[in-house]
């Protein structure tokens, strides 16, 4: 455990679905405090039919965040770490520069590609190598889409870097891939802790582009001299933190014991458990669960669920129609809306645009009356998410052979009190909500572990418990949810 009251400061860059942030984390004794230094938008850019990362602007925003810390605030940093969502990547050429701008996972180029891959390599074989759930957004299908299209970028690439790896490369000049983000690709082998090069051979993908792998908490290197001088920070170390944002978020779950599961709640909902080793067998495959690498040698056995992105897309559509609502207003409206008036499958909605209309069409197709108001639409989304969480909870308990008593909800969605209560009611479990800044907290604490300041996950989680206020929700109304759950299972075809 940390002793005394020494103080250290780490800068965490978290690139989320709507915005990116540079946050200063200060560790003093057994307490962590956060201060946001710089916030910036992070939205994809559409050119014709393609959807791209706004990569160079984001790099400038990272430099601006560093300059706030170094030039404006004159802070001496003990470390820097970058996290993003999974699956997206960049290709770097022989000259060390980007070959083309990285695509966003919601780009339509992967439509039908997963099915084409499965005609070459059976589903069971891919899962045996990777233990990853099948989603058309996975890096494997993005790469195969490029090969099928005869991509010159893929032909001339020297190195593939996942997005946080790319920013670490630009910060340090060292191009390596951190294991938690690599494991989202569906060509990482979690049992052998290496790339699943066999899949590249079978799919005629160039395995020479796969970089060296490092574990979360690894010191990638000092900041490049040019960046350090421009930002006024000196030779600050850069750490490969839990570079997958969910890995960092799960590292900050304030749990103890083994009777809990987590939901990292935000644009996506990632629901799972933390284990000592991957579970790769026929049962896991049939449940379409995924084994991703966690911090401290752990495996995150989880399910990716389409989360509050549905609300975000509805809010955007309403704003385009001239009706601006804050998330707090939408949550308050949903709290007063009729209960369980409509049910939908949250995972049926992947591509952006016209979300309220898509939800209405989905309800009609399922023989239900569409939501007739903004409040009813949001309520339908939140209740359907709660039902989906119950379904995934049952899958996890079936696989583990034991009951999970506590659901920890972390991330931005943990601030949605109506959703937290709906989850408790739908699952008949205790819900502990918080911290809302789990990803940033985890990013900072994994850097501190890498720096040798913390001993590991147990100490990091104790610091979380001492540093944040948590909210507890217990079931209030469960009788109405049984019929709703049966209807949900019928609608999704998983009953």
Any idea which residues carry the catalytic annotation?
245
Beta bridge partners of 265: 269
Q: Please name the residue ranges forming H helices in 6-51.
A: none
With vertex at residue 392, the alpha carbon angle to CA 416 and CA 463, rounded to the nearest 5 degrees, is 55
Only one residue has tokens 């644009």, namely: 267
Residues in Cβ contact with 96 at an 8 Å cutoff, skipping those fewer than 6 apart: none
User: If residue 463 lies in a helix (H) or strand (E), which one and from where to where?
Assistant: helix 457-467
* Cβ count within 10 A of residue 367: 7
What is the C-alpha to C-alpha distance for residues 120 and 307, in angstroms, rounded to an integer? 32
Does residue 181 contact residue 162 with C-beta atoms inside 8 Å?
yes
The string of DSSP codes covering 303-371 is: EEEE-THHHHHHHHHHHHTT----HHHHHHHHHTSPTTS----GGG--S-S-HHHHHHHHHHHTT-PPP
What is the C-alpha to C-alpha distance for residues 307 and 386, in angstroms, rounded to an integer? 10
What is the C-alpha to C-alpha distance for residues 30 and 375, in angstroms, rounded to an integer? 42
Does residue 383 contact residue 343 with C-beta atoms inside 8 Å?
yes
Q: Please name the residue ranges forming H helices in 232-296.
A: 245-251, 282-287
What's the gap between Cα 24 and its chain centre? 21
């Amino acid at each position: 455990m940390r002793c005394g009251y020494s103080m250290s400061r780490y800068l965490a860059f978290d690139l989320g679905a709507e915005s990116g942030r540079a946050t200063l984390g200060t560790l003093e004794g057994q307490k962590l405090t956060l201060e946001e230094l710089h916030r910036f938008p992070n939205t994809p850019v559409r050119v014709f039919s393609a959807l791209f990362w706004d990569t160079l602007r984001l790099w400038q925003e990272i430099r601006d965040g560093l300059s706030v810390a170094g030039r404006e605030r004159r802070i001496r940093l003990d470390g820097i770490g970058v996290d993003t969502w999974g699956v997206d990547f960049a290709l770097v050429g022989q000259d060390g520069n980007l070959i083309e701008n990285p695509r966003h996972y919601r780009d339509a180029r992967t439509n039908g590609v997963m099915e084409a891959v499965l005609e070459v390599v059976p589903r069971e074989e891919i899962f045996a190598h990777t233990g990853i759930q099948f989603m058309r957004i996975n890096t494997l299908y993005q790469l195969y889409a490029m090969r099928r299209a005869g991509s010159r970028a893929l032909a001339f690439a020297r190195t593939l870097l996942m997005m946080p790896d790319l920013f670490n490369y630009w910060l340090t000049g060292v191009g390596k891939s951190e294991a938690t983000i690599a494991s989202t690709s569906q060509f990482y082998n979690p049992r052998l802790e290496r790339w699943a090069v066999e899949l590249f051979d079978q799919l005629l993908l160039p395995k020479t582009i796969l970089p060296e792998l490092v574990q979360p908490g690894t010191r990638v290197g000092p900041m490049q001299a040019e960046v350090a001088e421009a930002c006024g920070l000196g030779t600050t170390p850069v750490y490969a933190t839990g570079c997958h944002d969910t890995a960092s978020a799960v590292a900050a779950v304030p749990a103890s014991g083994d009777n809990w599961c987590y939901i990292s709640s935000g644009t996506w909902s990632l629901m799972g458990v933390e284990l000592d080793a991957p579970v790769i067998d026929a049962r896991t495959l049939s449940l379409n669960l995924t084994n991703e690498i966690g911090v401290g040698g752990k495996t995150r056995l989880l399910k990716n669920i389409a989360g509050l992105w549905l609300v975000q897309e509805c809010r955007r559509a309403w704003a385009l129609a001239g009706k601006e609502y804050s998330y707090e207003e939408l949550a308050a409206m949903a709290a007063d809306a009729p209960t369980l008036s409509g049910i939908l499958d949250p995972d049926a909605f992947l591509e952006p645009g016209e979300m309220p209309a898509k939800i209405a069409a989905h309800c009609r197709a399922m023989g239900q009356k569409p939501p007739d108001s903004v409040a009813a639409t949001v309520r339908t989304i939140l209740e359907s998410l709660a039902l989906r969480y119950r379904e995934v909870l049952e899958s996890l308990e079936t696989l583990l052979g034991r009951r999970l008593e506590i659901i920890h909800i972390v991330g931005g969605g943990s601030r949605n009190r109506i959703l937290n209560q709906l989850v408790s009611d739908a699952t008949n479990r205790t819900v502990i909500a918080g911290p809302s800044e789990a990803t940033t907290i985890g990013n900072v604490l994994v850097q501190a572990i890498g720096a040798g300041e913390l001993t590991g996950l147990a100490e990091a989680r104790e610091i979380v418990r001492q540093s944040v206020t948590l909210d507890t929700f217990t079931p209030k109304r469960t009788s109405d949810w049984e019929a709703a759950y049966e209807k949900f299972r019928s609608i999704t075809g998983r009953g």
